[in-house]
Amino acid sequence: MLICQLKAEINRLRKKGVIRPGINLAAVCGRCLTELGLILNRGAICSICRKKST
């Protein structure tokens, strides 16, 4: 049951445009979706929203 709810939530986020296909979520800021560097700036503070990326 929980898995179905999570899949439904992911589909809702995709429809809203929050999650776009082809985006590597490890390579973007979690808050503003700004792309981070390929090698540098991984795990650093985002230069746009100042959130520490994970």
Question: What is the average per-residue pLDDT within 39-53?
Answer: 68
> Is there a contact between 42 and 20 (Cβ–Cβ < 8 Å)?
no
**What's residue 44's pLDDT?**
67
Question: What is the average per-residue pLDDT within 9-26?
Answer: 71
**What's residue 25's pLDDT?**
67
What tokens were used for 35?
Answer: 């792309």
> Is there a contact between 12 and 35 (Cβ–Cβ < 8 Å)?
no
Question: What is the average per-residue pLDDT within 34-39?
Answer: 71
In this prediction, residue 30 has a pLDDT band, given cuts at 50, 70 and 90, of: confident
CA distance 40 to 5: 36
Chain centroid offset of residue 1 CA: 25
CA distance 39 to 14: 27
